[in-house]
Structure formats: C-alpha cells, structure tokens
Amino acid sequence: MRRSALLASCLILAPVVGLVPLQAQDRDETNTQVSVGYEYQHRINEGLRGFGDIRYEQQLDPHSVFGDRSRLSATGGVSYDVTKRFRIEGGLGLYDTSLDVTDAFEVRLWQALTVDWPESSGVLRRYVLSHRFRLEERFKRATDWDFALRLRYRLAFAIPVNRYAVEPGAFFVPLKAEFFVPIGSEVEEFFAERARFTAGLGYVFSKSWTAELRYAWQRSRDNVGMDFQTTDQFIEFRIKTRVRIRDLVKSR
C-alpha cells in the first residue's frame, strides 16, 4: 500500500518538477511604445490604387522617458480590386530600427490577397470581415544581410458608432487580429512578432480625411536567447488621407 502511494506521488510530482527549470528559464517583459503614422491612398483608375505609409515608433522608458528602441519606416505599393470583395496588392517597405545594442535595416517586399467575407444582408452587412493573407520577402542587415520568408494573416473590421456605416461624420471602432508565421529560417532580430491585437477609436472627417487612435497588444519572442518572451503595448495615432501632400502645398 505504501509503495503504491509512493509511486502515485512520484508520478504526480514528476511533471511538476520537470516544468520548474523551464519556467525558471522563461523571462517576460512588457514594453510600451508610442507611434505616429501618416497613410495615403490614391485612386489611379477604376479598381487600381496606389498607397503609401510613413510611421515612427518610439519605446518609452519609465526612467528616461525614451527607451532604447525606435523605428522609422516607409512603405508603398499598388492594389487592384478584382471584384468588390477580392483585392490583390504588392508593395515595398523600408525599416530602420535603432536599438541600444545595435541598429538594423530591413528591405521588405510583399504580396497580399484581401477578401471581404461573409457577404451578409440586413443589419449584419455593417460588420463585413476583412481577411488578408500576406507573403513577405525580408532582406535584413544587422551585421550581415539575411533573407527569410514570412506569412501574415490579418482579420479586421470596423464598427460604426453613431452612423449606420463608416462615412463622413461617423465615429467607428477598428478591431484587428494578426498572426505571424515564419517560413523556413528566420531573419535574426531581437523582437519577432507572433501575434498582435488592435482596438481603437476613429473619426471620418470627410471622404478624404480619417483619424484613428489605436491601442495594440503584441506578443513577440527574442530570437537570440529563444527563452525571452516580451509583450509590446502600442499607442498609435494615425492620419489617413486621399489628398497628396504636394497638392496641399500647391493650394496654399
């Protein structure tokens, strides 16, 4: 009887004892970052659009206000509406990241498919889900140039608050969930995104101007140690417009 009890106790405690070293190795840290961005979109012809984006991110530090991580990025590309609910796009992005230990520069090419589904009728047609599948070719340099592929899936939709649709004069709540899947070997980086969830509040000033204040929660992993988990919190203010900056300058 005692031997059976001792054996049962060992079987119960063995998994717990085995997990202790693993838990002791894991480290978790939370970083808060602020971001400002400007997004531009221009209709070239029926179904064809050009777009661009400029964004600056800065990590905050409770001791010195600004942390040791910042990123400046610029992207651009074209998209084509195959149907009202199916769109393809391609683009190029440049990312300059400054860290306390080193700096990194990345050139990123991507191709994406976006599907608006399901197609509902009645009240539910306000809540159309946007599914985006994006393949990225990443060329990154920290010490040497590295290459890797990554697949991203994003689920997004916007909920109008004071209007039936997201139209001029409407407040809306943008909601997004995005997941990152590396293909093959990963680019060496200090913070590799794994999952990101975003919520916020936006306002449509006109057909050409929209502003959003968003909060994003992101989980990432440190590829150097492979046992370092980090949580990133983003507070982002973004302006979206269909008016070109040079057209605004000319009009003054």
Q: What pLDDT digit, counting tens, does each position of 158-182 carry? A: 999 999 889 999 999 999 999 998 8
What pLDDT is stored for residue 64 in this prediction?
A: 58
> How many other C-beta atoms are found inside a 10 Å radius of the C-beta of residue 181?
10
Q: What are phi and psi of 99, to 5 degrees?
A: -125, 165
How would DSSP label each residue in 139-181?
EEESSSEEEEEEEEEEEEEEEESSSSSS-TT-EEEEEEEEEEE
CATH of 31-250, picked from 1.10.1270.20, 3.10.20.440, 2.40.160.40, 3.40.50.300, is 2.40.160.40
What pLDDT is stored for residue 227 in this prediction?
A: 54
Q: What pLDDT digit, counting tens, does each position of 193-238 carry? A: 789 999 999 999 999 999 999 999 988 765 544 555 777 899 999 9
What are the Cα distances from residue 81, in Å, to 3, 49, 50, 109? Answer: 72, 8, 12, 20
HSE (side-chain half, CA atoms, 13 Å) at 33: 22
What pLDDT is stored for residue 224 in this prediction?
A: 46
- Domain regions of the chain by residue span: 31-250
